[in-house]
A and B are shown apart, each in its own frame.
Chain A
Amino acid sequence: GAGVSQSPSNKVTEKGKDVELRCDPISGHTALYWYRQSLGQGLEFLIYFQGNSAPDKSGLPSDRFSAERTGGSVSTLTIQRTQQEDSAVYLCASSFLTAQETQYFGPGTRLLVL
C-alpha cells in the first residue's frame, strides 16, 4: 500500500515569508508525528497528533511554528516569518492506532530559507 507522502519535496523561500508543509499519513493511521532533520541539531521531534488533537507539542521551537490535522488524516505544518535557521528537512511519520506502534516515515520536505 501507499506509504507516508509529503509535499512539496523541496521548498525554497525568502526570509520572512510563511511556508506550509503537507503530510499525508498511511491510510488508517491515527497517530502522526513531525520531526526536523538539520545539520546542527540532528533529528528532533516537533509535534505528535492522535487523531485531530495534539497532546504533545513540546518540540515546536517557537511560536512561529504551528501544525494542524483535519479529518484525522492530512496534517499541515506552518512556519511563519521564516528564518535561515529554519532550513532543514521536515519529516512526517505515522503509526497505527497508538503511540506504541512502529512509526513509518515519509521522504521529507527539504526547506531552504534564503
Chain B
Amino acid sequence: GNSVTQMEGPVTLSEEAFLTINCTYTATGYPSLFWYVQYPGEGLQLLLKATKADDKGSNKGFEATYRKETTSFHLEKGSVQVSDSAVYFCALRSSNTGKLIFGQGTTLQVKP
C-alpha cells in the first residue's frame, strides 16, 4: 500500500543553519506530495506542495522537489529561524477521494 517515511527527529539546529528533512514515499501511480507544518498550539497548515514529477514547491523560504526516480520529496531551507520551530509532516495524496497519507512527523527545534 501507499506509505510515507520521514527522517526521525527531533532535529535541533542553530539559527541560520541549513535544514534538510528527508521524506520518501511508496505509491502506485502518480501521487501529489505535500509538506504540512504544525506550530506549537496550532493546527496543521499546508506549507508547500507538488503535483507532478520534477515540480518544485516553495513557500516561506522552504523548498521541496518531487523526485520520481528516487521517490523522494525532501524539505530544505537555506537559513532557519527560531520561528520555524514546529513539527513537519510529509504527505501524499493518490486516491480520487483525496485521502492524505502522512509520515510520522519530524520535530524541528531552532535555537538562537
Contact (Cβ within 8 A) A103 B43: no
B44/A56 in contact, CB under 8 A: no
Smallest Cβ distance from A2 to chain B, in angstroms? 13
Report yes or no: B42 in contact with A55, Cβ–Cβ below 8 A: no
Residues of chain A with a CB closer than 8 A to B49's CB: 102
Known contacts A43-B102, A43-B105, A45-B100: A56-B95 contact under CB 8 Å: yes
Expressed in whole angstroms, the minimum distance between the Cβ of A18 and any Cβ of chain B is: 25
CB distance from B8 to the nearest CB of A (A): 12
Q: How many A residues touch B, CB cutoff 8 Å? A: 27
A91 touches B44 (CB 8 A): yes
Please tell me if B82 contacts chain A, counting CB pairs below 8 Å: no
A106 adjacent to B99 (CB under 8 Å): no
Q: How far is the CB of A47 from chain B (nearest CB, A)?
A: 9
Check B100–A35 contact: CB distance below 8 A: yes
Q: Which residues of A contact B97 (CB under 8 A)?
A: 48, 55-56, 99
The 4 closest A-B pairs by CB, nearest first: A99-B98, A56-B97, A43-B102, A105-B44
Chain B interface residues (CB < 8 Å from chain A): 32, 36, 42-46, 49, 89, 91, 93, 95-105
